[in-house]
């Protein structure tokens, strides 16, 4: 699955039928020096139990060379819990978690990346950005308004392959189906597109966990691009201080 | 079969009580054997089951004794390509407001790769994983624990932690099954980083559990991880855990083996006695059978078959009693181990293993058959003509007596030779067996001699009854010699066990006087053996400043593998220790030993460590810590009761260097002269007690705790003593019942010629008491010898400590009236039966 499931989609030219070039174009159109939004997560569990959480997300750099942070703001009993993600172009990201009540930061091991991200339907791996060069692509179908592309990770991943649907007119991801050896794991749909500072951006991402039959909806508020964010904000020390 | 139905069965029915009493020895021996082993095995099996359940899909565990290791080890292990998943664990017992719990500190992010947390009312491991991780007070408990206490998600559980009193919130309840059944459900899951704070572990883990990539060989992975981490780490499959637990329970196994073998040995003499009498009683029957053409072989087979049936019936009953005994003992052993290890490992299933039943059956049958061999041979040798003549044949022939004496002499000489070479294990045990055999072979002759010696005494007390009672014993030694031998063996066992217990207490008390010299002990638990929680050094530094405190010794006690066995390391400032304590020296130079140990040039080993693990003074030990492997000679051997498997005393600085562990288990506090102990204690509690889990025990408290633990250990000994006394009493009852039956005609004649009922009663009572006196005399003599061997067995194989020989005179004073009263009580029934029976029937008897 092409990384940045939480990222936004873009409009662009339709010059290529080469899947790698299509994905590269998607990345190019999403390019921004930084990003910030306030997210609201709604997790609807198998028993229709609903849990809502909020976080603040900031990112600096992009695609395989970015750093991002998110910090929970609500509910009160999770407030302050944070994540720092340092993406690398040639390998899996480094991830740390900060828990203020315990006063410890903790590195998220590679082996734990397939674990669900704090009870949502995202996994820790889904928070990573991976560069286009970390995948092999195959154009499976031209479905009129969209391309259907298969991506296979070159490096270790919980997913064996993914199907990506990309809208031709604005080069945005519309849907992703992620599979492992046993079959379909997650379906991610991007909705409510709007242009923010010239970048086509999905305002809602829905993740469906096929095995647990649960759904997570992430809504993006106060989304901004190219803010003046300092590199020092993306360190463990800063993570401990909160956003 | 026909002979059994026509001859044996009517005889058994007629002497039902005797048959039951005869079987009693086998029943008891088998019951003790099955009961103790089943209890032991059940507790061990439950412990291993718990290890399996906690291990989940873990294939390899990395640990460094009990000392733990720094967190970076986890990343180093995870980096290996062979490792699919590695998860850190802290495992510790804690008493909470809702009862004792085994707390498993895990990293909930990755731990599910290894363990299955099947939760109640949720498809997720925890209802709100983020809240569980975010809040340091999160706890997952099992449904069993929750149901027993009627608590639900959101309930609060209080616990005294190293950060003071804390209230934890139940944020998940695990469904029964798998992990949730470990330790009978008394298990709770906590975030590992929260657990580090709760238990004062700093930035350390107890162990790392590892699952390997598919296709990776376990041995190859273990070798690679070991090479990566070095000798200071134990890299092994989960099944290797519990060595300490096994070592402790194996002592029980050995002690229970000795008791059951002794009970069976005693039972053997009771059976022998009964069969010997039966052969005499049934001489005419045998004579008729022989006259009708029965062969000697058929007669021998008949008696042996009777014995085998009796042995099998006794075994079956013994197994039933054994299972009942096991159920009680499992709780006892479990409780005892919980005092030592912190969490009670209850055995949910108490069932004997097939091999145990087979071994018990073989033992019961063999004992019974061996006991019947001589009487069966004697029966087969009966002359049909003589047998059909009336009269008794109870006396031992002179030839028989002489042969026994010669055998006894040979055994005594062989035992003496073995004594000279007793440093070799099997020769020592052989010599022990020969010494007991000597006593057994001499018992009939000694009984006769004793009976003759008692005759004037008894006659002096009551001229008629006393003389009759003494003559009965003198004329029919075969009738009573088996009983007296059984009584002698029982009492010898009681004396040796009692003596052993007494000497152990004396030795322990002497050690406590020397080693436990501090005025106060500051610990993390009420029990000084619990090691779940540890102090940081800063607490000790603070205590040093408390007014009235003269000196504080920081003690770290951890079990680490030494020569492959978990051994207790006692790390303390040796210079400070030497100022206050000079442990009883076994080997070495007391003048230089402490200086050398303080300088880190050697370690001081406990006597039991040296003996039980075969290490010698001067031997260089390899002590591998995570940071450094030490090669240090044993520069002294001292008597120390710190741990059952032995201990190694080393300087604290050296320990910290090699193990990178500056935690403290106990602060030994010496007060200034004239300081008010109660006030200092209260000041420490007031200053530090609210900030963290802390107990201040007085010297008296600690001694009382050690004595209580020792009492529990000796609880088993008291069971053994009770069994031995019971067998002895059964023996007396059996002998007298047989004796009365055997003498019905004689007693009938006595009554017919004018003997009063009371005279008959007194005769039987006096005979019973005389049996008691003789048994007591021989038992005390053999007990004195047996005690020597028991002390040696304890020194060599049980506790490894020379506890000294101290004959338990107090016990003799208690035992004498018990045995004599028991003999008298045992005689009441048979005596009444003798005087109330039909005179005509009695005169027609035989």
CA distance B125 to chain A (A): 9
- HSE-CB at B605 with a 13 A cutoff on CA atoms is 29
Q: By CA distance, what is B193's nearest residue in A?
A: A102
Q: Are B813 and B773 in contact (CB under 8 A)?
A: no
Minimal Cβ distance to B110: which of A81, A115, A214: A115
pLDDT tens-digit readout, B142-174: 999 999 999 988 999 999 898 888 899 999 898
How far apart are the CA of A119 and the nearest CA of chain B, in angstroms?
5
Does position B325 have pLDDT exceeding 50, yes or no? yes
Phi-psi region of B660 (alpha: psi -120 to 50; beta: other; left: phi over 0): left
**Is residue A5 scored above 60 in pLDDT?**
no
- A55: closest CA of chain B, how far (Å): 13
Choose the mutation target among B117, B124, B130 for the interface with A, i.e. most A CBs under 10 Å. B130
CA B418 from chain centre, in angstroms, equals 27
When divided into structural domains, chain A yields a total of: 1
Give B619-636 as a DSSP string: PEEEEE-SS-EEEEEEEE
> Distance from CA of residue A129 to its chain's centroid?
7
By Cβ distance, the residue of B78, B109, B134 closest to A115 is B109
- Alpha-carbon distance values, B73 to A107, B84, B85, B419 (Å): 13, 16, 14, 53
Q: Does B197 touch chain A (CB under 8 A)?
A: yes
Given this model, what pLDDT does residue A3 score? 39
Collect all residues with Cβ–Cβ distance below 8 Å to A239 and sequence separation of at least 6.
A69, A71, A82, A83, A84, A96, A98, A105
Q: Which residues, other chains included, contact B150 with Cβ-Cβ below 8 Å and sequence gap of 6+?
A: none
Is the CB of B134 less than 8 angstroms away from the CB of A77?
A: yes
In a domain, A139, yes or no: yes
Most confident range (mean pLDDT) of A124-128, A169-173, B256-260, B322-326 is A169-173
Examine residue A100 and state whether it is found in any structural domain, yes or no. Answer: yes
Does the residue A81 lie in any domain? yes
Average pLDDT over residues A165-171: 93
Residues from chain B that touch A77, judged by Cβ atoms under 8 A, are: 131, 134-135
With H, G, I as helix, E, B as strand and everything else as coil, classify residue A196: strand
The pLDDT-based confidence of A213 (bands split at 50, 70, 90) is confident
Residue A214 maps to a domain: yes
Q: B703 with B517: CB under 8 angstroms?
A: no
Q: What is the pLDDT of residues B785-833, one digit of tens each?
A: 999 998 988 888 878 888 888 899 988 998 899 888 888 887 887 788 7
Rounded-to-integer distance, Cα B783 and Cα B777, Å:
10
pLDDT tens string B185-203: 888 999 999 999 999 999 9
Cβ contact, residue pair A78, B84, below 8 Å: no
Tens of pLDDT along B328-359?
877 777 766 665 555 555 666 778 888 888 98
Contact between chains at A119 and B129 (C-beta distance less than 8 A)? yes
User: For the segment B82-132, what is each residue's pLDDT rounded down to a tens digit?
Assistant: 999 999 999 988 888 778 888 999 998 888 788 877 765 555 556 678 888
Residues 132-161 of chain B whose Cβ lies under 8 A from any Cβ of chain A: 133-136
Q: What is the mean pLDDT of residues B214-218?
A: 92
**Length of chain A measured in residues:** 243
- CA atoms of B545 and B553, how far apart (whole Å): 13
Confidence of residue B530 (pLDDT cuts 50, 70, 90): confident
**Residue among B124, B126, B136 whose CB faces A102 most closely:** B136
A76-87 pLDDT, tens digit per residue, is 989 999 999 998
Nearest CA in chain A to B213: A111
**What does residue B120 show for φ and ψ, rounded to 5 degrees?**
-80, 140
Cα distances (angstroms) measured from residue B378 to each of A179, B22, B272, B705: 86, 19, 12, 57
CB contact under 8 A, B135 and A77: yes
Could you tell me the residue range of the domain that residue A42 belongs to? 19-241
Count Cβ–Cβ pairs < 8 Å, chain A vs chain B.
Answer: 75
List Cα–Cα distances, B139 to A101, B127, B180, B691, B705, in angstroms: 15, 12, 13, 21, 31
Q: Do A118 and B107 touch (CB under 8 A)?
A: no
Q: How far apart are the first and last CA of chain A?
A: 30
- Residue of A53, A102, A108 with shortest CB distance to B109: A108
| Overall average pLDDT of the B228-248 stretch | 80
pLDDT computed for residue B658 by the predictor: 95
Q: Is residue A60 part of a domain?
A: yes
Measured in angstroms, the CA of A101 and the nearest CA of chain B are apart by 6
Tokens (6 digits) for A38:
């306030």
CA-based nearest distance A191→chain B, Å: 26
Looking up residue A232, the CATH number of its domain turns out to be 2.50.20.10
B78 interface with A at CB cutoff 8 Å: yes
Q: Rounded CA gap, B519 and B699, in Å?
A: 5
pLDDT at A56 over 80: yes
Identify whether A8 is part of a domain: no
Which of A90-94, B248-252, B540-544, B791-795 comes out lowest in average pLDDT?
B248-252
CB-CB under 8 Å, B128 with A111: no
Domain ranges of chain B: 1-53+243-389, 60-236, 534-692
Of residues B7, B12, B116, the one with CA closest to residue B58? B116
> Do the chains contact at A111 and B110, CB–CB below 8 Å?
yes
Nearest chain A alpha carbon to B88:
A109
B110 touches A: beta carbon within 8 Å: yes
Lowest-pLDDT choice from A92-106, B204-218, B284-298, B607-621 = B284-298
- Lowest average pLDDT, out of A88-92, A238-242, B88-92, goes to A88-92
């Amino acid at each position: 699955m092409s990384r940045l499931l939480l990222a936004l989609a873009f409009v662009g030219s339709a010059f290529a039928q080469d899947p790698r070039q299509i994905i590269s174009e998607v990345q190019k159109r999403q390019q921004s020096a930084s990003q910030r939004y306030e997210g609201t997560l709604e997790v609807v569990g198998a028993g229709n139990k609903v849990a809502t959480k909020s976080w603040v997300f900031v990112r600096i750099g992009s695609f395989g060379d970015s750093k991002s942070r998110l910090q929970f703001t609500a509910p009160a009993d999770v407030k302050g819990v944070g994540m720092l993600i340092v993406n690398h172009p040639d390998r899996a990201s480094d991830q740390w978690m900060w828990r203020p009540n315990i006063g410890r930061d903790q590195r998220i091991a590679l082996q734990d990346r397939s674990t669900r991200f704090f009870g949502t339907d995202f996994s820790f791996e889904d928070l990573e950005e991976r560069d286009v060069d970390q995948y092999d692509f195959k154009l499976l179908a031209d479905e009129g308004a969209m391309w259907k592309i298969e991506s296979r990770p070159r490096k270790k991943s919980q997913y064996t392959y993914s199907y990506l649907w990309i809208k031709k007119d604005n080069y945005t991801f519309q849907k992703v189906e992620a599979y492992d050896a046993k079959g379909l794991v997650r379906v991610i749909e991007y909705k409510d597109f709007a242009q923010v500072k010239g970048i086509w951006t999905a305002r809602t991402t829905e993740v469906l966990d096929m095995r647990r039959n649960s759904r997570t909806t992430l809504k993006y508020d106060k989304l901004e691009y190219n803010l003046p964010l300092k590199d020092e904000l993306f360190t463990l020390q800063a993570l401990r201080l909160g956003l | 079969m026909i002979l059994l139905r026509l001859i044996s069965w009517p005889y058994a029915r007629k002497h039902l009580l005797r048959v039951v009493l005869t079987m009693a020895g086998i029943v008891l021996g088998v019951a003790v054997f099955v009961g103790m082993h089943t209890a032991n095995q059940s507790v061990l099996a439950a412990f291993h089951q718990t290890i399996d359940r906690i291990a989940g899909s873990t294939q390899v565990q990395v640990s460094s004794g009990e000392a733990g290791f720094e967190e970076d080890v986890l990343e180093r292990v995870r980096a290996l390509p062979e490792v699919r998943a590695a998860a850190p664990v802290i495992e510790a017992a804690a008493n909470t407001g809702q009862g004792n719990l085994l707390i498993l500190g895990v990293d909930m992010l990755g731990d599910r790769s290894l363990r299955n947390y099947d939760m109640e009312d949720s498809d997720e491991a925890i209802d709100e994983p983020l809240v569980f991780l975010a809040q340091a007070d999160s706890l997952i408990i099992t449904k069993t624990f929750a149901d027993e206490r009627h608590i639900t998600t959101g309930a609060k559980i209080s616990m005294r932690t190293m950060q003071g009193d804390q209230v934890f919130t139940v944020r998940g309840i695990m469904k029964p099954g798998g992990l949730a059944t470990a330790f009978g459900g008394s298990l709770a899951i906590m975030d590992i980083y929260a657990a580090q704070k709760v238990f004062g572990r700093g930035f350390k883990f107890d162990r790392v559990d590892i699952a390997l990539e598919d296709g990776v060989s376990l041995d190859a992975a273990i070798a690679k991880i070991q090479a990566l981490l070095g000798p200071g780490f134990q890299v092994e499959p989960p099944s290797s855990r519990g060595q300490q637990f096994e070592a402790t329970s194996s002592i029980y196994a050995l002690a229970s083996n000795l008791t059951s073998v002794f009970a069976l040995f005693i039972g053997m003499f009771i059976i022998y006695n009964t069969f010997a009498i039966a052969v005499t009683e049934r001489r005419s029957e045998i004579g008729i059978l022989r006259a009708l053409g029965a062969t000697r072989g058929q007669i021998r087979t008949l008696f042996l078959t009777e014995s085998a049936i009796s042995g099998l019936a006794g075994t079956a009953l013994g197994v039933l009693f054994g299972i009942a005994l096991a159920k009680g003992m499992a709780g006892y052993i479990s409780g005892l181990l919980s005092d030592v290890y912190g969490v009670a490992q209850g055995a949910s299933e108490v069932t004997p293993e097939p091999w145990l039943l087979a071994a018990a059956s073989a033992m019961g049958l063999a004992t019974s058959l061996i006991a019947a061999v001589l009487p069966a041979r004697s029966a087969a040798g009966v002359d049909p003509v003589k047998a059909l003549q009336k009269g008794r044949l109870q006396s031992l022939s002179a030839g028989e007596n002489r042969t026994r004496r010669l055998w006894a002499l040979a055994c005594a000489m062989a035992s003496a030779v073995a004594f000279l070479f007793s440093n070799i294990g099997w020769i020592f045990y052989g010599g022990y067996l020969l010494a007991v055999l000597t006593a057994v072979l001499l018992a009939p002759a000694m009984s006769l001699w004793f009976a003759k010696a008692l005759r004037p005494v008894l006659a002096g007390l009551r001229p008629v009854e006393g003389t009759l009672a003494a003559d009965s014993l003198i004329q029919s030694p075969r009738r009573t010699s088996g009983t007296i031998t059984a009584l002698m063996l029982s009492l010898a066992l009681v004396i040796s066990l009692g003596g052993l217990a007494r000497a152990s207490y004396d030795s322990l008390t002497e050690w406590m006087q020397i080693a436990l010299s501090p005025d106060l002990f500051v610990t993390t638990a009420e029990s000084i053996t619990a090691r779940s929680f540890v102090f940081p050094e800063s607490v000790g530094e603070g205590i040093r400043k408390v007014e009235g405190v003269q000196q504080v010794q920081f003690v770290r006690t951890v079990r680490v593998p030494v020569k492959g066995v978990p051994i207790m390391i006692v790390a303390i400032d040796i210079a400070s220790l030497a100022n206050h304590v000079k442990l009883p020296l076994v080997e070495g130079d007391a003048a230089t030993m402490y200086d050398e140990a303080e300088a880190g040039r050697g370690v001081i080993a406990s006597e039991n460590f040296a003996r039980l693990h075969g290490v010698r003074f001067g031997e260089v030990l390899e002590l591998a810590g995570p940071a450094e492997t030490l090669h240090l000679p044993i520069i002294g051997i001292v008597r120390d009761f710190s741990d059952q498997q032995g201990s190694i005393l080393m300087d604290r600085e050296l320990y910290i260097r090699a193990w990178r562990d500056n935690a403290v288990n106990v602060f030994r506090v010496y007060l200034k002269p004239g300081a008010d102990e109660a006030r200092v204690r209260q000041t420490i509690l007031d200053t530090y007690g609210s900030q963290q889990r802390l107990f201040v025990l007085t010297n008296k408290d600690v001694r009382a705790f050690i004595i209580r633990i020792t009492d529990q250990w000796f609880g088993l000994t008291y069971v053994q003593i009770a069994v031995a006394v019971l067998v002895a009493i059964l023996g007396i009852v059996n002998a007298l019942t047989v004796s009365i039956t055997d003498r019905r005609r004689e007693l009938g004649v006595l009554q017919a010629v004018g003997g009063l009922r009371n005279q008959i009663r007194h005769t039987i009572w006096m005979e019973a008491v005389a049996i008691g006196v003789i048994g007591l005399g021989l038992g005390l003599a053999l007990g004195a010898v047996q005690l020597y061997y028991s002390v040696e067995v304890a020194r060599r194989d049980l506790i490894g400590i020379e506890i000294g020989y101290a004959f338990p005179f107090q016990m003799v004073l208690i035992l004498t009236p018990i045995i004599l009263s028991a003999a008298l009580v045992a005689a009441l029934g048979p005596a009444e039966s003798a005087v109330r029976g039909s005179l005509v029937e009695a005169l027609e008897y035989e």
